[in-house]
Amino acid sequence: MEAAVVSASHGAMGSLLGKLGDLLTARYNLLKEAKGQIMFLQAELESIYAFLKRISDAEEPAEQDKCWAKQVRELSYDIEDSVNEFMLRVEHKCSSKPHGFKGFIKRSMNLLTTMNTRHDIAKEFEGLKIRVKEVSERRARYKLDGDAVKPNNTAVSFQKSNTAVDHRLLALHAETASLIGVTGPRDQLIKLMDEKVVPAHQLKVLSIVGFGGLGKTTLANEIYRKLGNQFQCRAFVSVSQKPNIGKILRTILSELGFRAPMDSNFEIWGESELISALKSFLVDKRYFIVIDDLWEDSPWDIIKCALPKNKNGSRVITTTRIETVARACCTDHIEYVYEMKPLNEEDSRRLFFKRMFGSEDACPSYLKEVSAEILKKCGGLPLAINTISSLLASHTQNNIKEYWEYVRNSLGTNFDVSPSLDAMRQILNLSYINLPHYLKACMLYLGIYPEDHTIHKNDLAREWVAEGFISKGHGMDPEDIARSYFNELINRRMIQPSETSCNGEVISCRVHDMMLDLILHKSREDNFITVVDDMQQLAEQQDKIRRLSVNLVGARDDIGAGSVQLTQTRTVAIFGIMSQLLPSLAEFKHLRVLIIEDGSKGEFRLTLLDLNGICHLFQLRCLRIKSRNHRAVLPSKIGGLHQLETFAIDATIEPSEGLICPTLPSDIVHMNRLLHLIVPETIIFPSGFGNMKSLRTLHCFNLENSVDNFKGLRELTNLTNLQIKYERAGFFTTLSNDDKAARCREVLLTCLEKLCNLKRLVVHVSSSRDACLDMSNLVPASFHCLQIFHVFDGTWFSRVPHWIGQLHSLYDLVLHVKEVLEGDVGIIAQLPSLVHVRLNIQGRPKEKMVFGSGFPILKFFEVSCSRIPYLVFEAGAMPKLERLHLCFKLMGCDRYSGAAPSGIEHLLSLKEISAYIGVHHANESNIRATTSTLRKLVCMHPGRPNVNIWTVNEYFTGSDEMFDELDEDWDDEGSCRSTS
């Protein structure tokens, strides 16, 4: 029997059959009548399941077959819900069964009730038996014949547990933007941006137009990257089909670097206020803005009101599929409308064979003819070529030519005449059909997220597991399998990498809007996901709602959901400010995943989000709240959530009545399946915290926790990801600096001595610079699996600790030290896995920092201190280094003193140098001399890397906020990232 998982094609059938087998065990003590019904259900459903699998494997099943398969899927969900309810009743009785004489009296008094319950269960299974018989009879009545179904033998039918992202694909992803078919259009547009039809010093608007899948966004992004540093400020924002103008304007302001006044609530500003702020902010600046994916001209009419037509040489690029919209953006200058063309034959071949074989020359001769025919059907669309080539690359069996011919024959001929949405959907649909069953549900689940949403891999993996898409057998961790599935979808080009960590791992993705169109089409067809953006739409749904995605951004708040049945819903995802008119959470009786995101970057908490209803969600496995506009109210008890694995809340939590500090529900410590606990740093943990031995992720453990909880931390030996935090602001003021330092050292020592499975450790105490972490140089061997170690802000070491040199698995290091002396650099230079280093030095180094041999694979090196450090790079130093970041300040009228980095020309792989200079009280000549010297250093480098220099008229002390302003390349797990 197939692994017991929920799938898009088979519904809950696989999971259900496993549970029916469990019900027949002695533990459930069923009546003989009920056992007989379950045995009938099990046998009948196994037969139905076999037939359902044949239908779902079909290339083009008949309409009757599809209709019957949908009914079977719906039935499987309903039966599983009933079984889950019954199992809950039994488990509740077992867990609460009293012992001793009192227990005997209690059991005797409950005997009649128990018998009634068992008879009720028997009746319920009798009803389910009747429904199953009806489904079987319907199959016979309409003479559905599985032998007539043509199976699709091309899909891979096994599960992978260790798939990694194909690094050739990531290289191709980067190269596609700069080489294959983009270089020519990019250079044309750059030339157009500089033409004198409109004087160069005036605002100029260009528009890229073309149908979906041509690469408009890729082209705009390439220009944005290449020219962005020539402007004082820049922004890249997507509009999409259902734009929220307020959100778009706020995003533009945020990306440009606008900071709202501290006493105002940026998140509730109206359009008029946002337009005024944007216009005022840009009036004297040279700016570059990309407005991506316009579907109509009305959003542009509003946006352009906020863009001052100054004489600083500002530029705006818009992208759209609609020519009339492109013309509207460029007003009277039709020559600034650039029409995207499909790739020519040569570029199409390059893109295709680069993915398949590395180059066209490596293509076997017996595949050249069929590949040419496939490319012809792709019509020069990069999205189509990438999707088809990834589909072919995923098939590695011996009959490779036969498979390629199957793909060719499966594609229609309409691309030969005109590329269209239908033709593109056909290509994408072929890739979906050829997904193995275990990936189809994972793929369709992406429809939960709105258009243009950045989807984080860890969130997705936990949600897939919670939904039941991942098998928990074979001794493998389900989340590892889920992450492997994510990588497989990346490799197949079904989803696009968005961000990668510093060690090359893809940590988030986006879904192309045409792929999302296909996903939503399939989801509607199979009743897999229901997507609404208006609460009234819920009442109009005909099918039972299994998974619900609600996008409330810009929705009307005066229309409620009406009367709608939601007890069968398994996932609810709400994006936007949560309406008070949503049904009570308690109505979602079988909910497994609850997501609430408002996408806000504001600092104000406006609305109470009452989560008391989660107490009744006995199937809830994943709770994830991310909101800056809500103050969450937690229930006092959640111990009934026995299935909960992820409890993640990024929102202000209201303290319980009578308390100053917010606390977690007291019985959370008894939840023995909880794996990930992610809460604000202001949270205090209840006593008994050390009982939570299943925890793998803990964010954040606050220094204000009790001594008992500090001791309890030592018991959490399964932790792999720990963040310790203490904020300057907030509820906490009780600890002195000495106490904070002592507690920081105690936590670190606990981690070193006891938590031998840690892979990531972050210590961030922003309230003091007196928390010295100096301690023993001994590190137990069991601690050597640490991969990420970050020490921020108020926590520091006097020097680079010697024991760091023993962490051979470490690839990401952020260290705050008082000074760097001779030999300190050598401690970290020999770490074989180190990819990223950020070194924050409290003062100016007293000695040169000399880098010779070592750092064999380091790619990112960042140094921050109060004065510019004197760095020396010898020949052969840092052979893989790509990015060098410097943060320092110029003091008063001090001369630059020539202490510039030397030997930069020896960094042969260098692609970018960035400097972030605090110029508070520095004179203009000193600033000019500093920036000029840095630029001359770059000119000496044979590779001519990009140089970015920022000067800020603020006082900085060489701390982390410098780098936080320089770039925000940090993921939710705290690991350095880069955007693809």
Domain chopping of the chain, boundaries: 8-142, 182-339, 435-523, 529-554+565-660
Confidence of residue 508 (pLDDT cuts 50, 70, 90): very high
Mean pLDDT of 411-430: 65
Contact, 424 vs 521, CB < 8 A?
no
Rounded Cα distance between 696 and 719, Å, is 4
Confidence of residue 561 (pLDDT cuts 50, 70, 90): low
pLDDT (tens digit, 9 = 90+) per residue, 890-914?
A: 765 454 444 578 888 899 999 888 8
For the four alpha carbons of 152, 154, 159 and 164, in that order, the dihedral sign comes to negative
Phi-psi region of 581 (alpha: psi -120 to 50; beta: other; left: phi over 0): alpha
Share of the chain above pLDDT 70, in %: 80
368-404 burial: b if 16+ Cβ within 10 Å, else e:
eebbeebbbbbbbbbbbbbbbbbbbbbbeeeeeeebb
Class of residue 852 by CB neighbours under 10 A (exposed 0-12, middle 13-18, buried 19+): middle
Contact, 377 vs 404, CB < 8 A?
no
Amino acid identity, position 918: G
CA nearest to 800, candidates 791, 788, 810 = 791
pLDDT (tens digit, 9 = 90+) per residue, 732-758?
A: 566 676 777 777 777 777 777 788 889
pLDDT (tens digit, 9 = 90+) per residue, 243-282?
A: 889 889 999 998 998 888 877 778 788 899 999 999 999 9
Contact, 889 vs 919, CB < 8 A?
yes
Helices (H), 707-817: 707-713, 737-753
Rounded Cα distance between 361 and 25, Å, is 62
961: helix, coil or strand? helix
CA nearest to 952, candidates 967, 938, 960, 962 = 962
Residues with Cβ within 8 Å of 576's Cβ and at least 6 positions away in sequence, in order, are: 550, 551, 552, 553, 554, 555, 598, 599
Confidence of residue 673 (pLDDT cuts 50, 70, 90): very high
- Residue 793 has what DSSP assignment? E
- Residue 550 has what DSSP assignment? E
756-771 burial: b if 16+ Cβ within 10 Å, else e:
bebbbbbbbbbbbbeb
Residue 548 has pLDDT above 90, yes or no: yes
Amino acid identity, position 747: V
pLDDT (tens digit, 9 = 90+) per residue, 916-954?
A: 888 877 788 888 888 888 888 888 888 888 888 887 775
Confidence of residue 570 (pLDDT cuts 50, 70, 90): very high
- Which one is predicted more confidently, 476 or 463? 463
Rounded Cα distance between 788 and 804, Å, is 11
Contact, 510 vs 494, CB < 8 A?
no
End-to-end CA distance of the chain: 41
Contact, 743 vs 711, CB < 8 A?
no
Task: Tell me how crowded residue 835 is: count the other CB atoms within 10 A of its CB.
Answer: 21
The secondary structure of the chain in percent helix, strand, coil, rounded to multiples of 5, reads 40, 20, 40
> pLDDT at position 546, please?
93
Mean pLDDT of 404-409: 85
pLDDT (tens digit, 9 = 90+) per residue, 806-835?
A: 889 999 999 988 888 878 899 999 999 999
- Which one is predicted more confidently, 294 or 579? 294
Task: Tell me how crowded residue 208 is: count the other CB atoms within 10 A of its CB.
Answer: 25
CA nearest to 717, candidates 690, 686, 681, 680 = 690
- Which one is predicted more confidently, 473 or 958? 473
322: helix, coil or strand? coil
Residue 512: how many CA atoms within 13 Å on its side-chain side?
25
Rounded Cα distance between 778 and 798, Å, is 16
Share of the chain above pLDDT 90, in %: 24
> pLDDT at position 964, please?
46
CA nearest to 535, candidates 566, 497, 503 = 566
Six-digit token pair at 667? 């019985």
> pLDDT at position 108, please?
47
Is the peptide bond prior to 700 cis by the omega test (within 30 degrees of 0)? Answer: yes
> pLDDT at position 783, please?
66
509: helix, coil or strand? strand
> pLDDT at position 600, please?
59
- Residue 880 has what DSSP assignment? T
Listed range (12-26, 94-108, 547-561) with the worst mean pLDDT: 94-108
Rounded Cα distance between 912 and 881, Å, is 9
Confidence of residue 971 (pLDDT cuts 50, 70, 90): very low
User: Where are any strands of DSSP class E within 827-895?
Assistant: 836-841, 849-851, 860-864, 871-873, 883-889
- Which one is predicted more confidently, 869 or 39? 39
* Residue positions counted in the chain: 980
> pLDDT at position 227, please?
87
Q: Tell me the pairing of strands 496-501 and 977-979.
A: antiparallel
Residues with Cβ within 8 Å of 590's Cβ and at least 6 positions away in sequence, in order, are: 81, 84, 567, 568, 569, 570, 619
Six-digit token pair at 618? 């006995």
Listed range (344-358, 676-690, 753-767, 943-957) with the worst mean pLDDT: 943-957
Confidence of residue 467 (pLDDT cuts 50, 70, 90): very high
Contacts by residues 938-944 (CB-CB < 8 Å, ≥ 24 positions apart): 938/904, 938/913, 940/904, 940/905, 941/904, 941/905, 941/907, 941/910, 942/905, 942/908, 943/908, 943/909, 943/910, 943/911
Residue that the structure tokens 């108020």 belong to: 794
CA nearest to 209, candidates 327, 53, 46, 354 = 327
Residue 152 has pLDDT above 70, yes or no: no
DSSP code string of 701-723: EETTS-HHHHHHHTT-TT-SEEE
CATH value of 435-523 in 2.60.40.420, 1.10.10.10, 3.40.50.300, 1.10.760.10? 1.10.10.10
> pLDDT at position 302, please?
93
Helix (H) or strand (E) run with residue 440 in it: helix 437-445
Distances (CA, A) of 677 to 296, 668, 902: 43, 10, 46
- Which one is predicted more confidently, 534 or 678? 678
Rounded Cα distance between 411 and 388, Å, is 10
CA nearest to 653, candidates 602, 700, 610 = 610
Rounded Cα distance between 813 and 835, Å, is 8
Angle made by CA atoms 326, 329, 334, in degrees to the nearest 5: 65
CATH 3.40.50.1820 for domain 182-339, yes or no, is: no
Residues with Cβ within 8 Å of 263's Cβ and at least 6 positions away in sequence, in order, are: none
Torsion of CA 530, 536, 539, 544, to 10 degrees: 10
Confidence of residue 966 (pLDDT cuts 50, 70, 90): very low
Helices (H), 304-399: 323-330, 345-356, 368-378, 382-393
Residue 126 has pLDDT above 90, yes or no: no
Report which listed range, 376-380, 456-460, 749-753, is most confident: 456-460
696: helix, coil or strand? coil
Contact, 61 vs 518, CB < 8 A?
no
Six-digit token pair at 78? 């309903």
Class of residue 37 by CB neighbours under 10 A (exposed 0-12, middle 13-18, buried 19+): buried
pLDDT (tens digit, 9 = 90+) per residue, 840-849?
A: 888 777 778 8
Contact, 520 vs 531, CB < 8 A?
yes
- The average confidence (pLDDT) of the chain is 80
CA nearest to 947, candidates 411, 381, 228 = 228
- Which one is predicted more confidently, 145 or 82? 82
Torsion of CA 936, 937, 942, 944, to 10 degrees: -70
> pLDDT at position 514, please?
82
Report which listed range, 54-58, 65-69, 594-598, is most confident: 594-598
- Which one is predicted more confidently, 424 or 157? 424
Rounded Cα distance between 178 and 498, Å, is 17
Contact, 353 vs 378, CB < 8 A?
no
> pLDDT at position 893, please?
44
